[in-house]
Amino acid sequence: MASKDIAIIGYGEVKNVRRSGRSTYDLAAEATSKVLEYTGLGTKDIDGMATVLPSSEAGNNFWSNYLGDHLGLQTSWTQTTDTGGASMPGNVARAAAAIQSGYCEMVLSIAAAAPTTRRVDDQRSYRSEFRNPTGIQGPPGAFGLIMHRYMHQYDLKFEALGKLAVAQRNGALVNEYAVEGLRKPITVDDYLNARMVSTPLRLLDSVMPCDGANAIIITTTERAKKLGAKNMAHPIAYSELTNFNVHEQLPDITETGFGIAGPEALGKAGMSTDDIDMFHPYDDFLIAEMLQLEQIGFCKRGAGSEYLLETDISPTGKLPINTGGGQISAGQPGLAGGQINIIEALRQLFGEATDRQSPNPSTAMCTGIGVIPYVRNWGTSAVLILEKG
């Protein structure tokens, strides 16, 4: 990918809505229509599809077949990835590999989910056998423990997380695709006084589930030029790590695979963190963003609070972070949330972010986090670097 022979040429997004009452198929169709309209393509131009299995369709052993049929796609390559919120950045890399291998030439990367309308997943494994019986239910409980441990090891300043919450909410205020209930301003005091969900994790640390869908189109740079694509972004580096240190019970539960995947992706791109113009991390919880900043190398381990307090993270700042609100302030449409940050990065690189536009960004880093298993933080850590074409 570093040769810039692969390009993302367009995006489409459906507004995030709580309890939409719509099916996952319906949401996917709208996102697909939007990206096809953006690029001027038709369904017959698409010969590859990459997607994620959403919780609203879990148990559907033929999800990609039915989805492609519903969208009117005849494909020579299809991929369904199940690494949670890391699936969609991973699908960019998998689509690039498929294109480079000659399996297809024009890939629709589509993510849709309706978890607040219909949810049928059953994860079991360590969660149900060992963790849930203790009363630690779901991601908030796990991240509450991670925050506790971080506080024990380092100096966690909640004002820093409050600043991050406010910055992302400011992005959602001017993001028409954000959940309407979240398009209200907040202050650092609002964050500090928010209800505890899993001490010390607050309500404003957390995502709001919703329904939604989004899509991008990936092809060769040569094909993009022949089509006269109005915009291009090249995925120039990708790295992922699944089941970090799997043979051991982690002695430090604040340590994640990003300590390997982040520097590795930067190395593949021939870059350092100083070369990244904007950061769009997967943000199911604010503390997850701080851990990523530290372990990817934007600051030292344990220095995340100071970094956030000292750094301008607004769209016009030194390191803009999740300028569209991220999932925390725009809503988390299930596993489709794993592509929200990629689409915001594309908007910025294409100069289409309107009132939240950063001045002339040329690079963006997007990340993905997959699953919160037992005593192992998240299962997959994924890092994708994009460069403006």
* Total-model pTM: 0.95
pLDDT-derived band at 58 (thresholds 50, 70, 90) equals low
Helices (H), the chain: 24-39, 63-71, 87-100, 125-126, 138-153, 158-173, 188-192, 221-227, 258-269, 286-296, 304-310, 326-330, 340-349
The bridge status of strand 279-280 relative to strand 363-370 is parallel
Mean pLDDT in residue range 33-42: 98
Domains contained in the chain, CATH given: 6-120+208-388 (3.40.47.10)
d(CA 297, CA 277): 14
pLDDT in tens, 264-289: 999 999 999 999 999 999 999 999 99
Q: Which residues pair with 128 in a beta bridge?
A: none
pLDDT-derived band at 374 (thresholds 50, 70, 90) equals low
- What is the maximum span of the chain, computed from C-alpha positions, in angstroms? 58
Taking 90 as the threshold, does the pLDDT of residue 53 lie above it?
no
